[in-house]
Amino acid sequence: MCGIFAAYRQEDVEKFKPEALQYAKRIRHRGPDWSGNVIQNSTILCHERLAIVGLDSGAQPIVSDDGNYSLAVNGEIYNHINLRDQFKSYKFKSLSDCEPIIPLFEKYDTDAPKHLDGMFAFVLYDKKNDRIVAARDPIGITTLYVGKNAKSPKTRYFASELKCLVDVCDEISAFPPGHVYDSNTDEITRYYNPVWWDETKTPTTKLDLKKIRESLELAVRKRLMAEVPYGVLLSGGLDSSLIASIAARETEKALSSQKAHAIDANHELSGVDESGSLHTTGWSQLHSFAIGLPGAPDLLAAEKVAHFIGTIHHSHTFTMKEGLDSLDDVIYHLETYDVTTIRASTPMFLLSRKIKAQGVKMVLSGEGSDEIFGGYLYFANAPSAKDFHEECVKRVKNLHYADCLRANKSTMAWGLEARVPFLDKQFLDVCMTIDPEEKMIKPSEGKIEKYILRKAFDTSDEPDVKPYLPEEILWRQKEQFSDGVGYSWIDGLKEAAEAAVSDEELANPKPEWGEDVPTTKEAYWYRCKFDAIFKSKAAATTVMRWIPKAEWGCHADPSGRYATIHEKKVDEV
């Protein structure tokens, strides 16, 4: 991951350059390793680099050998080895996983993003045709914003974070995932159109547990592409535990293969080759990281998983005061006032700082599973398989506003990159096309949430296969991250908000908020903090709040403890 800022058709671009560099500097936390910029015609591209792959020769913006194309990318391209094999006639200047985007664009034009496997946001400038093209990965794992200014109607601005644009743009929007912008048409169009995208069409593919297991293992393997120390975020819940277990196995296999074949990791492209084999460097043993208030459920479960899968585990705690003290910083980096996102991001933000201090630059995380498999406890009230599937698709489509935003920004605040295997394109195609009847939560039949994912990794009837997880973890009930770090975390936030916001203030929302009115003191408190940080009226237009599905009996408070099937319901806490 990195940070990018670009201005296309900027009047007097040389004079604007110092200003552009200051905007880019606002996201240097995303790329503390190096800064670069390129000016061609009236366009400037700025890049703040976090070096993960191609450490010695991956500086950006990348300029093509003929000088015509300049490219700034924030992300990781997992199929870069295969792309390099396809474009052997192209004169590559680096070992960067991002450089193949240039020959890919030369061949496929705006269809180029269709051929990328990874998480990315990029801006590519064509000097000869004075044309800029920008794109964002299919699900929106990597953040990107686009802006305009009424005083300069032909200029277009792009940035990894909102904070780069608030002073120069009076119109800002989150660049939609799975889309590409072309200055030739000045339009943003969808390039990602999987068969499951239309939620009204209920899939009928038969369940194949082996395919679920193998596709997730491949997704993890691809995301271990790195030339720096990496680890896993381990909450002790099903999703992060599965990712950690697979990562531990894949790391061990890759290192064994490297030793057996005397591979020189210092002169090897990092990534998965055409055969599916992983080439990587890093630590000889996987490290795992967890955080919570003292005695939190997640900490205890994470330690159990780490011991079982053999990671070097780091268990961190934070106090209520530390969490509350960091809220302003969290909202500054998240660029949202959504209650659910802020609750869950604060512990992740604190943990990321500790991880970076331990020398790690990349981690794997478990976001996306609940949306794909209907893992939130309110899905138990879905009236039909069709409704269940529609809700899954809608939640996946909105991940870029919530969990993806959280995973990206709370880690990148400290120059730590988070990769999310569950949102792999191939894995999504496998799991989003399964007959949703198989995903339904049916307690009377012993089918708890995410039953088929659990079953895919249940080796109880495979005596020759080492178990992936302890039985009690594989079948542990869903616990939302903001609950799992300690139930008193959410309770403490509510108490602080109660003290900060009066009844009168809650009853009289600010006129400029329009119809987006906070309904709780906690939501009101976060909105006021957001407004104090981002004073531009355009800033709030980029925010979308996670709205509970009330018609399925979903409580107005997003905590999983309010679900009727939760083992520790809120009235028992």
Selecting among 2, 164, 392, 404, the annotated active-site residue is 2
Torsion of CA 366, 367, 373, 374, to 10 degrees: 130
Q: Which pairing describes strands 230-233 and 271-272: parallel, antiparallel, or unpaired?
A: unpaired
Is 329 annotated among the ligand-binding residues? no
Written as one string, the DSSP assignment of 56-85 is TT--SSEE-TTS-EEEEEEEEETTHHHHHH
Is 366 annotated among the ligand-binding residues? yes
CA angle, residues 118, 122, 126, in degrees to nearest 5: 130
Residue from 274, 268, 302 nearest 287 by CA: 302
Torsion of CA 10, 12, 17, 23, to 10 degrees: -40
Is 85 annotated among the ligand-binding residues? no
169 tagged catalytic: no
3-state DSSP helix/strand/coil % of the chain, to nearest 5: 40, 15, 40
Written as one string, the DSSP assignment of 133-163 is EEEE-SS--S--EEEE-TTSTT-EEEESSGG
Distance CA 362, CA 412 (A): 10
Q: Which of the 8 DSSP states describes residue 223?
A: T
Outline where DSSP puts E strands in 176-275.
179-182, 187-190, 230-233, 271-272
CB 528 within 8 A of CB 148: no
Count other C-beta atoms under 10 Å from residue 494's C-beta: 15
Is 448 annotated among the ligand-binding residues? no
Written as one string, the DSSP assignment of 294-326 is TT-HHHHHHHHHHHHHT-EEEEEE--HHHHHHT
Q: Which two tokens stand for residue 478?
A: 């869903």
Is 503 annotated among the ligand-binding residues? no
Distance CA 268, CA 290 (A): 32
Distance CA 540, CA 531 (A): 8
Burial class (CB in 10 A: 0-12, 13-18, 19+), 261: exposed
Cα–Cα separations (whole angstroms), residue 447 to 450, 467, 567: 8, 20, 15
Three-state SS for 539-564 is: HHHHCCCCCCCHHHCCCCCCCHHHCC
Cα–Cα separations (whole angstroms), residue 4 to 34, 39, 189, 229, 552: 12, 14, 21, 24, 41
State whether the Cα torsion 476-479-485-489 is positive or negative: negative
Q: Which pairing describes strands 312-317 and 287-292: parallel, antiparallel, or unpaired?
A: parallel
Does a cis peptide bond (omega within 30 degrees of 0) precede residue 470?
no
Binding residues for L-glutamine are 97
Binding residues for ATP are 233, 291, 365-366
Binding residues are 97, 233, 291, 365-366
- Catalytic residue list: 2
